[in-house]
Amino acid sequence: MKNDLSAIRNDYGNRALNESELPKDPTLLLQDWMDEAINEGLYEPNAVVLSTTDSDGFPSSRVVLLKAIQDGKLVFFSNYSSAKGKELEKNPKAGLLFFWPQLHRQIRIKGNVERISDAHSDLYFKERPYESKLGAWASAQSEVISGREAIESKYSFYKGKFKDKEIPRPAFWGGFQLHPKNIEFWQGRSGRLHDRLVYGRDGAGWGIWRLAP
């Protein structure tokens, strides 16, 4: 190898994560960390790795953008006919992973997933940029295509079809919401003695425990 990956090492700062400072609801801490990432000017702080399971039982991961933390649920959007959409339909359980290296933080979340209402998806779709709306119509996401020109041709077709018209949300595109059942907050510490605090469902509330780093 050109570069020795084993030699890459970075120490972490002195931020701490203490049980006594935690809110009872983990989504409040998630929102606080998200706000801090936004205020620090991190590029796409709402980017999150979504992991599902394919039909052969293999994990399948990709980056999506979290669009809301609402009533304790995490909302993202996709083509329902995409690989992730089909995988979630067959197995509506998923994992999410946020990683903010500049803050030495990551959050691991797992839970059950369901579609949001059509009305909610409609409201979000109306807020999307014009080009993104056309892209939703043009892309048969995850399907094999003949080349770049195929997607550009479909984009041009829908651009003409919806010229001077409001672009409606495709029925095959919309939102999902993940209901967390387990959330782990990881704060990097010096000497690899990281703080790992986990929230787990405990009846109607949450239990909290610490993991060894």
Joined together, the tokens standing for residue 131 give 């080009």
Residue 56's pLDDT is what?
96
Q: Within a domain: residue 36?
A: yes
pLDDT of residue 6: 78
By DSSP bridging, strand 105-115 and strand 59-65 are unpaired
Active-site residues, by number, are 192
What total of structural domains would you count in the chain? Answer: 1
pLDDT score recorded for residue 1: 60
pLDDT at 23: 96
Q: Whole domain around residue 61: which residue ranges?
A: 18-117+172-211
Is 127 a member of any domain?
A: no
Res 13: pLDDT: 78
Global pTM value? 0.93
Q: What is the CATH number of the domain that holds 80?
A: 2.30.110.10
* CA 69 – CA 90 distance, rounded (Å): 24
In Å, how far are 59, 102, 167, 186, 188 from 196, measured between CA atoms?
23, 17, 45, 5, 9
**Residue at 28 is within a domain:** yes
Residues lower than pLDDT 50 in the chain:
none
* Amino acid 206: pLDDT: 97
Cβ contact 208:24 at 8 Å = no
